[in-house]
Structure formats: C-alpha cells, structure tokens
Amino acid sequence: MIMSMMVHFSIIHEVLYNFLKIFLFVWYIVTAIPYFVMGKKAGYRHAWIAFIPLGKIYIALKLPHREFRIFRFHTKQRLYLFTTLIVVGIVFHVISFPFKVLLFFPSQSPIDDILSFIILCISIIAFIYYCIYAVITRRMNYDLLKTYKMDKYTTWAPIANIFCPSVMVVFSFIIMNREPEYGFGGFYEE
C-alpha cells in the first residue's frame, strides 16, 4: 500500500515537474515575442536577441534613444547598463555561493550561530543586488514607455513592475504595435 502510494506520488511529481518546465519555456517564448516585434518594427537588425536569455532586457535597454539617468548618473551608452546588470548578478552569485554551500553542513550548536550569520550575509547581499536591479529596470521600463509614447503610465507602471513583473509583460504586448518616437524603422537614424 505504502509502496503503491510512493509510486503514484513519484509519477504525479514527475508529471507536474515536466509540466512546469514546459510552462516556463512557453512563458519565456511568449514574453519575448513583444520585444522581438518592437525591435523589428524599430528597425533594429538583431531583434532575434529577444529570444536568448537576458535578451529582452538588452532590447529594452537598447531601443530608447534617450539618455539613461539614475540620480546623478547619466549616460548615452546604454550597453554599459546591461553590462552592469550582468556583472552585478555574477558578483552576487560568486559572493553568495560559498555561503550557500556552507548551509548544507549538518547543524550543531556552535555552528548554528555561524549558519545564522551566513543566512544574514546572503540576505544582505541579495537585498543589495535586488535594489540595484530594481533601480536600473525601473528606469529602463520608464524609458521604454516614453519611447513608445505611453507617458501617462511612466510613473506607476515601472514601479509596479518591481513588485509584480507581469505588469511590463502586459505593457510590452500593448506597445509592440505602436510606433517608437523615432518612427518605424528609424532605430539607426539617430
């Protein structure tokens, strides 16, 4: 009886796991389509980048032709911001990896304090990373909405997207057929 239940649980677990993998793959492709369409209509030659990992972020940073401003920092070189996101992400994972590995050791009373400290360090590093990522993506989404003349949504939508990433998925489908401020096919003209 117990063996039969374990077999059924194993089958259900595998089916759900495979369903989740398929769902996430389809979700990724579906959410990349608007960025591909925006890139193509804007005249960007490499719009296919939207379908590779981090490609949507790259296209969202690349399409606006305005200066990127965060606090006192401003630049026209939007590719540097993409590189910054990648580097900060890599640094976060490199710094937090040893702490994550140590969490797998068995817990004993003197080690509990060390594990608590490790969890605190990972949490602080993750919070710093998320703050940097949130600030850059908020401005990225603001610029993207401005580029596609969605001015009345530029205040609240990028902020709401920090807490609910589906917000910009919805807006990307809305703006994918709109004309950018530099016109259809005008990406390379400026």
150-189: pLDDT as tens digits: 999 999 999 999 999 899 999 999 999 899 988 888 887 6
* 180 Cβ contact partners less than 8 Å away, ≥ 6 residues apart: 38, 41, 42, 63, 147, 148, 186, 187
pLDDT (0 to 100) of residue 79: 82
* 173 Cβ contact partners less than 8 Å away, ≥ 6 residues apart: 34
Residue 27 — pLDDT band, cuts 50, 70, 90?
Answer: very high
Question: What is the Cα–Cα distance from 61 to 137, expressed in whole angstroms?
Answer: 9
**Residue 121 burial (C-beta neighbours within 10 Å; 0-12, 13-18, 19+):** middle
What is the mean predicted confidence (pLDDT) over 15-40?
Answer: 93
Helices (DSSP H) in the chain: which residue ranges? Answer: 2-42, 55-62, 78-102, 109-147, 157-163, 166-175
Question: What is the Cα–Cα distance from 136 to 178, expressed in whole angstroms?
Answer: 24
37-96: pLDDT as tens digits: 999 999 999 999 999 988 999 999 989 988 888 887 878 888 888 888 888 888 887 877
DSSP string computed for 11-42: HHHHHHHHHHHHHHHHHHHHHHHHHHHHHHHH
114-156: pLDDT as tens digits: 777 777 888 888 888 888 888 888 999 999 999 999 999 999 9
* 111 Cβ contact partners less than 8 Å away, ≥ 6 residues apart: 105
190 pLDDT higher than 60: no
Contact 117, 99 (CB under 8 A): no
pLDDT (0 to 100) of residue 96: 75
104 pLDDT higher than 80: no
First to last CA, the chain: 71
Residue 30 — pLDDT band, cuts 50, 70, 90?
Answer: very high
pLDDT (0 to 100) of residue 154: 92
Percent of all residues in the chain with a pLDDT value above 70, rounded to a whole number: 88
- Predicted model pTM: 0.80
Nearest CA to 63 out of 85, 78, 81, 83 is that of 78
